Structure formats: structure tokens, C-alpha cells
Amino acid sequence: MSLHDSSLKDSRSAPATPGGLSVLSRLTDPRVYCTLFALSLLVIIPAWSGSTFMVHVFVTICVFGALATAWNILGGYAGQLSLGHTVFYGLGGYTAALLLTHFGLSPWIGMIAGAALAALVSLGIGYPCFRLRGPFFSLATIAFLEVVRLLSIHFNGVTGGSAGLVVPLQIGWPWMIFREKINYLYIAFGLLMLCLAVSYAIRHSRLGYSLTAVRERDSAAQAAGININGVKLWAMAISAALTALVGTFHAMYMTFLEPATLFSLATAIEIAMFALIGGLGTVAGPLLGTVLVVPLAELARGWLGASANGLHGFVYGSVLVIITLTLPGGLVGTFGPFVVRLIDRLPGGGRTRADVVAPATKIITGTPGEVVLKAQNLVKRFGGLTATDNVSLTLKRGEILGVIGPNGAGKTTVFAQLSGFLTPNAGTIEILGPDGKWHQPSSPDAFARLGIGRTFQIVQPFGKLSVLENIMIGAFLRHRSVDDARAVALRVAKLMGLDDVKDVEAGTLPIGGLKRLEVARTLATEPTILLLDEVMAGQSQSDTVKMVELIRAIRDTGVTVIAIEHNMQAIMSLSDRIVVIDSGKVIAEGKPDAVVRERRVIEAYLGEDFVDAQGL
């Protein structure tokens, strides 16, 4: 691999060639036709059986499969464990029922109104709750669910309170109430297909990759320019709207609404459990979990009658315990790769995706040598410890600035402030934007959008994603298309010597590979200023030499570099200027050969006694 590979300097403007396939070609893919056949069985089996009970079972499967799939957009993709999701299910049901009862509007209209209301309510819930971490978010969603349930009981003049609300029995498609149960199955199946289609589209979109990045490592996601609360709110709004659509249908199916049923915590937990059993963060997992568990519970209740009250909870709990202990990745996570390999052996299988021409790299404009970053009098305190004490530095376009100092000197704290991960207690950071104006961004993603790319001292890969997908997440900052982001990621992977492991799960790479992946993901954001935090640590001598050459090649494209390093030989040979930090203060700045001779620098590394003994 040439470190001066033309791919780094490529300024081609050729449009990306389409990587997609025609509809007919897709239908001949065994993954597609096997999926469509399996889904069609959800209608064929009950229709063929002629049993109303069997139809009811499959309606229930479709309803809870759709609910679990909708929940998975937030709980699986984004990793936000909502246990109050039935608040949106209930809103959808009550909105349609009230519009039908008081205004005579069709439930189809009420379904849309309920989805819109649920999306708005989700934003009101998500905005404060996404500031919470871990179990506190789950507890907050439960609290909101309980508040809404109590309000629906209190306003009994509108909702019917604890006595419930009976849906007016108007038969026909406009009113979503039928004598033949098979019609309910058609609607339930249609809603399931809608939820699956939306889930699939999100999973393979820029939003889906962003949600996965946030779930895996939110700090690395922010460094890639992802607004973590913004993408979570999108996920919650979409999930809530789909849940409300299903809630409207289910209310019409039951023809009776009561707060205890529509705003049920137990139902919310069941929905999450189906996704967990099938496989969180997968498209098919929530439906497979539902198909496994719901028939067992429904058939047991059908066979045992009233004596089986509460049995479904026992069935759900038993299956969950077994799956959690034996298949921690869920059904899809455990058996999915094996099943896919079998399907790919069928006629039309084993296709490879056509590569597209990578879009042109962003051209960095500006005058060489002009100041592009100004940090003035940065002060950062952690309790009584002052980590940075009036640190000031400037960065000029096209230079490599080395930052050195003993361990614990405050170098990484400076980096965290220069990239927005820490807000200084005092001082300012200004960045020259592409518009020629000075900006003071306030969040890591805002810094990234202005062209600040950073690596982390402790590597932060998205461990469950492949190497190529990790790099794609960086590329999405400048390229919205998945095909374009993939093409850019392939180009960067080749540059960094990662093309031979591009399909490997990132978490399995050795430390040297992880360091290169950190740089690759950052390069894919096409930064104008690159902050490298000890990227040569853990590298072999030959890899260190290659990294030095690579950094120089990056600088030659117009990217300005700040590098923290403990490899003194490498950083001294690489840097145009050196800044030395000790005990949170800048103690020296200048050309490398001059800085290393300064008494204060030698004292910082070797101590005063050594300096005095040498007569320096």
C-alpha cells in the first residue's frame, strides 16, 4: 500500500454509479422470496384452517409482532429501553375511538390522527428523558405511562374512566369492524408489513447506522458528527407513530377500551420481551420472538380455558429465561448467520453488491499558514483539581502541531475541550469555518460539522459492527447516501490497510488494527482539522513508520493536524511546531529542536535533580 495513494488526493467528480437492483432482480434473490413466502404463511395458514380461533391467534401474532417491531426501532436500534411504550398504543386507540364516538369520523382517519398525536407526545417525553442514563430512562417512561393511565381514569367524562368505552358497532371497512374475522387478519397483516418495511428501511439507512452508533458508543458517535438526542427523537417519534397505528386497529378489534388494558405496563414489558427473545436490533427478531411465544400462550389458554388465567405470563417468563441463558443474542443473533448461509445456497443466492465510484473528496480551501483555530485561556476544573490552567494555543492551516508532556499533564483534557467533549470553565475556542467566519460551537457534533475530527486515546470502536460499517458512520457526516458512504469507506479502508478485514467485526481487531480504525473513521468525516490522540501507541516499529508517513500524506492534502504522542522520536520528526504541557499549563512552544533543549521541558520529563546534576 502506498501511503501517498491517489485515493487520498482523489478529486474526481464522477457521479456514483447505482448500486441498487431492479425490483424483478430483487424478487429472484432467495433472501427476498424466502422472506415473502414465510410472511405469507401468516395469512395462508389461518385462512386455510377455517377456524375463527386460529384467525384470532394469527391476528394476535400480527398485532404483537408489529408492536414489537415498532418498539425495536427505539429499544433495539437506539438501545433505549422504553417500558412505557403502551402510552402510544393507548393514545392511538383512544384517539380513534373518541373521534368515532363524538364526531363520527372513520377509524382510518382516527388512525392517522392518533399516530400524529403519539409522535408529538413522544417528543415531549423523549426530550427530557433522553438526558437520563441506564435504568433511569426506563423508570421515567414507566412514570409517564402511569401518569397518562391515571389521567384517562380521572377524565371519565371523556374516556369513560375505569368503566371503559364501548366502540359504536358500525359494520364495514369504513368503520374497521367486521362479522368475518378474516378481514381483521388482513388489516393486522398489512400493519405488520408496514412496520417491517419501515424497520428495514431505517436499519439500512443513514438514520439506522446513526442509531446503532449511538447505542454502541455515544461519544464516538458524537465525534462522527451525530446529534445523539436528535436521532433518538426521530426513532422515538417513528416508533410511537407506528405503535399508535396498531393501537387504533386493536381497539377496533376489541371494541372495548379501558385504561388498564390500553395503558398496561405488563403489555409494554411483553412487547419488549418479544424483541429481546427474537434479537434486539434486528429486523426479523421481534416478529420471530412473537411467533415463538404468542401461539404457545394462546393455545394454552384455548385448551385450558378459565383455569389458564395468567398462564401467558408464565409462558412468556419461561421462554425469556431459557433464551437469555442459552441464546444471549436472541434467535436471530444466534441462528441468523447460519440460516442466511443456507438460504444463499438456493437459486439466485450468493450475490455480491456492486461497488460504486466514491464521490469526490472535499477540497480544502484557504490560505496556507492562516490561523484556523484559536484557544485562549482555557481553564478546566474537576472539583479542586485544575486540569488546564489558562492554556492558549493557535493552529495554522497546513501545519502539524505536536502536543507533548508527562502523563497526567492535561493533554487529553485540552483535546476534549478542542473537540467539544468538555466545556471549559473559562476561556474560548474559535474555529474558522468554511464560510470564512469564526465560530464557537458548543457540542461535539457541532465541532465535527465544522471540520474537527478526533480520535480517542482509549479506542472506541462500534464493536458489533464490521470494520467497513464503522468507517461508514464517519462518512455519513458528509454523504447522506448509503452507497456513497460505503464507497468512501472502502476508499479509506484501503488507504489505512484495513481492506482485507473490512467485513470483520470491529471488536475482534487487535490494538494496532483498532488504532488504524480510529484514524480511518475520523478520516472518513473529511475533516479540515485532525486531532490525533496517541495513535501510535501499541503500534509496531514498522506500523509507526507507516503512520508517520500517512499523517504527512494527510497534511499534504490540506488537512491541519494536532497530535498528542509519547513516542518522542516520531512526534519530533513529524511536527512543524511543538507545544509542551505540564500540570495543566503550557510551559514551552516552538520548533521541535529548540523546545527539547529548554530547561523547563527537561525538568518536566526528568526532574529538577537531573537538570541540576547535568548543569543545564
DSSP characters over 300-320: HHHHHGGGGTTHHHHHHHHHH
Q: Where are the beta strands (DSSP E) in 502-609?
A: 529-533, 560-564, 577-582, 585-590
Dihedral in degrees, nearest 10, Cα atoms 68, 71, 72, 78:
-170
Q: Where are the domains of the chain?
A: 42-265, 371-459+531-614
Q: What is the pLDDT of residue 21?
A: 54
Q: What is the pLDDT of residue 538?
A: 74
Q: What is the pLDDT of residue 279?
A: 92
Cell numbers at 440, concatenated: 464557537
Rounded to an integer, what distance in angstroms lies between the CA atom of residue 286 and that of residue 276? 7
For residue 141, give the H/E element and its range.
Answer: helix 135-154
Q: What's the 3-state SS for 23-38?
A: HHHHHCCHHHHHHHHH
Closest to 450 measured CA to CA, from 526, 519, 377, 378: 526
* pTM score of the predicted model: 0.89
Q: What is the pLDDT of residue 93?
A: 95
Q: Can you state the angle between helices 52-72 and 265-278, rounded to 10 degrees?
A: 80
Closest to 249 measured CA to CA, from 171, 175, 349, 140: 175
Cell numbers at 253, concatenated: 378489534
Dihedral in degrees, nearest 10, Cα atoms 196, 277, 307, 149:
-60
Closest to 387 measured CA to CA, from 413, 420, 415, 424: 413
For residue 441, give the H/E element and its range.
Answer: none
**Contact (CB, 8 A) for 248 and 138:** no
Q: What is the pLDDT of residue 312?
A: 63
Rounded to an integer, what distance in angstroms lies between the CA atom of residue 421 and that of residue 596? 30
For the chain (616 residues), the mean pLDDT of every run of 10, in chain order, is 42 40 72 92 93 92 97 95 95 95 93 97 94 88 94 87 87 92 96 97 95 94 94 97 96 92 92 92 94 80 59 71 82 88 83 71 81 94 91 93 89 93 94 92 94 92 93 94 93 91 91 90 94 85 85 89 88 90 90 85 62 47
Distances 578 to 204, 573, 574 between C-alpha atoms, Å: 44, 11, 10
Residues 6+ apart with CB under 8 A from 186: 43
Q: Which fold has domain 371-459+531-614?
A: Rossmann fold (3.40.50)
Rounded to an integer, what distance in angstroms lies between the CA atom of residue 374 and that of residue 543? 32
Cell numbers at 321, concatenated: 429465561
Rounded to an integer, what distance in angstroms lies between the CA atom of residue 466 and that of residue 448? 22
Q: On the CB side of 594, how many CA atoms lie within 13 Å of its CA?
A: 8
The DSSP code for 425 is S
